[in-house]
Amino acid sequence: MQLSILKCISCGKEYALTDVRFTCMCGHLLDVAHDVHELKKKFRLSKKYFNGKRATIHNQPSGGVWHFGELVLPSVKEKEIVFKQEGNTRLHQSKKISSWLGLRHFYLKHEGENPTGSFKDRGMTVAVTQAKRLRQKAVVCASTGNTSASLAAYASEAEMTGLVLIPKGSVAVGKISQALAYGAKTLIVNGDFDDCMRLIFEAQEKLQAYPLNSINPFRLEGQKTIVWETLQQLGWKVPDWFVFPGGNLGNTSAFGKALHEASELGLIEKMPRFAVIQAEGASPFYRAFKDGFKELRPQKAHTIATAIKIGNPANYTKAIRSLQWTNGIVESVTDNEILEAKAHVDGAGIGAEPASCATVAGLKKLIENGIVKPKETVVGILTGNILKDPQAIVDYHIEKHGELANPPVDIEATIEEVKRFL
Ligand SMILES: *Cc1c(COP(=O)(O)O)cnc(C)c1O
Ligand SMILES: [Zn+2]
């Protein structure tokens, strides 16, 4: 058997890794499936191997996505890799946040510290590398947020054309500013989101444009490294919980696969539990979970957390598998709970965009409900940078005066006035 193939998660049908396809003939999603036992033998994979590993790619610090390249895209040649030193993000500990939550062992893995400000870069380095290996002419997505920002930066690095398709009238220009700045061609389509998706897959068939939307399985391979990197940072001591937001459920899918593979490789002895957090106004996964996953009922999504404002998650079936592997749960939080948690994350001097702070809001709720225990070790994932959404900050602190608001104050130009605030 080959070391890696594309494999349907439902019927098991296999396709070559070089096929440009994203769903099986039966309609279900594809995995990049690795023969982990062969890989283990071939590269002698172990905790010690990864701990002792030095940078292999020119300029790449030890760590990051390609630190785990043997388990991400084993067949890739070093010179084919399109990368921007993504990953290697910090594992923050904050006394302020821990005591607000009532936890003793709490870590925040900050994926907003990636090159374009979100974890999307971890997936993009792999998927754009694959696009280049397949000699695709362009990369394309339909996104108004972090995916298009990341696509644009990696397309530039790869010297490929980056295309971002957006339905007309659906988005403020500010949200696509990074894509414009990094030089992706942004096409405002006279149509809706479904028209954009149709065009993307037509462009794939007819124009050799490679889709980088959420169902691209190579993106998930890169996102797996968030979990492995965290485990290595913790000395391979498995935490009790991983808590993170769920939108299209790419991370939910990728993190489960990462742990399943780590367990098969003998890198970990036990499984952590997952808690996936959704915004109440965009919570189809939460509602399906409550219903025993009988069915997914798509909804029209509303939430301040735009990165998880998704009513019909693309990776739904893969995400269910991850919850099964990790005895996982799903929780939902209101926009107010997200904003309160964000004020705590920001106020600790760490900061993250609203979707990321759903993590902390959900965790707070799970602790209050006795599901997460104070003595347990918890890793929360912050998915995006605080500067992704300055409007949410201005609204909270200045316009709408949230509970922990810290608005600016006008003063006269005297030292007495300044002294009042010490
Ligand atoms: C894309 C994104 C999410 C949603 O992640 P999924 O893998 O689609 O569930 C959450 N937060 C941020 C900041 C994102 O960019
Ligand atoms: Zn199938």
pLDDT in tens, 296-336: 999 999 999 999 999 999 999 999 999 999 999 999 999 99
Residue 402: the pLDDT is 81
Q: Does 382 contact ligand 1 (Cβ within 6 A)?
A: no
Could you give the CA distance from residue 70 to residue 58 in angstroms, rounded to a whole number? 17
- Tell me how far the alpha carbon of residue 198 lies from the centroid of ligand 2, in angstroms: 21
pLDDT(62) > 70:
no
Residue 1: the pLDDT is 59
User: Which ligand has its closest atom nearest to the C-alpha of 12?
Assistant: 2
User: Which ligand has its closest atom nearest to the C-alpha of 25?
Assistant: 2
pLDDT(29) > 80:
yes
- Tell me how far the alpha carbon of residue 416 lies from the centroid of ligand 2, in angstroms: 73
Q: Does 246 contact ligand 1 (Cβ within 6 A)?
A: yes
- Which atom, in ligand 1's list, is nearest to the CA of 314? 8
- Which atom, in ligand 1's list, is nearest to the CA of 111? 13
Residue 168: the pLDDT is 87
Residue 53 confidence class, pLDDT cut points 50, 70, 90: confident
Residue 56: the pLDDT is 66
Could you give the CA distance from residue 223 to residue 275 in angstroms, rounded to a whole number? 17
- Which atom, in ligand 1's list, is nearest to the CA of 246? 9
- Which atom, in ligand 1's list, is nearest to the CA of 253? 7
Residue 58: the pLDDT is 63
Residue 355: the pLDDT is 97
Residue 165: the pLDDT is 95
Residue with CA closest to ligand 1 atom 2: 307
Residue 144: the pLDDT is 77
Q: Which of 213, 224, 248 to mutate to test the pocket of ligand 1 (most atoms within 8 A of CB)?
A: 248
Instruction: Say which amino acid occupies 131.
Output: A
Q: Does 308 contact ligand 1 (Cβ within 6 A)?
A: yes
Residue with CA closest to ligand 1 atom 13: 384
Domains of the chain plus CATH, in order, are 91-115+219-398 (3.40.50.1100)
pLDDT(290) > 70:
yes
Residue with CA closest to ligand 1 atom 7: 250
Question: What percent of the chain lies above the pLDDT cut of 90?
Answer: 90
Nearest to 16 by CA among 38, 1, 37: 1
User: Which ligand has its closest atom nearest to the C-alpha of 306?
Assistant: 1
Residue 57 confidence class, pLDDT cut points 50, 70, 90: low
Q: Does 250 contact ligand 1 (Cβ within 6 A)?
A: yes
Average pLDDT, integer, range 173-193: 90
Taking the model in full, what pTM does it have? 0.96
Q: Kindly report, residue by residue over 371-407, the tens digit of the pLDDT.
A: 999 999 999 999 999 999 999 999 999 988 788 999 9
Q: Does 313 contact ligand 1 (Cβ within 6 A)?
A: no
Average pLDDT, integer, range 45-74: 84
Residue with CA closest to ligand 1 atom 8: 248
User: Which ligand has its closest atom nearest to the C-alpha of 8?
Assistant: 2
- Which atom, in ligand 1's list, is nearest to the CA of 249? 9
pLDDT(137) > 80:
yes
- Which atom, in ligand 1's list, is nearest to the CA of 310? 8
Q: Does 356 contact ligand 1 (Cβ within 6 A)?
A: yes
User: Which ligand has its closest atom nearest to the C-alpha of 117?
Assistant: 1
Average pLDDT, integer, range 18-34: 96
Residue 232: the pLDDT is 95
Bridge partners for 243 per DSSP: 275, 380
User: Which ligand has its closest atom nearest to the C-alpha of 10?
Assistant: 2
Of 69 and 2, the structure prediction assigns the larger pLDDT to 69
Q: Does 223 contact ligand 1 (Cβ within 6 A)?
A: no
* Least confident stretch, 170-174, 201-205, 276-280, 354-358: 170-174
Residue 294: the pLDDT is 97
Could you give the CA distance from residue 40 to residue 255 in angstroms, rounded to a whole number? 19
**CB distance 194 to 200 below 8 Å:** no
- Tell me how far the alpha carbon of residue 374 lies from the centroid of ligand 2, in angstroms: 43
Q: Does 118 contact ligand 1 (Cβ within 6 A)?
A: yes
Q: Does 146 contact ligand 1 (Cβ within 6 A)?
A: yes
Q: Which of 251, 312, 317, 389 to mutate to test the pocket of ligand 1 (most atoms within 8 A of CB)?
A: 251
218: which residues sit within 8 A by CB, 6+ positions away?
32, 73, 123, 126, 127, 129, 130
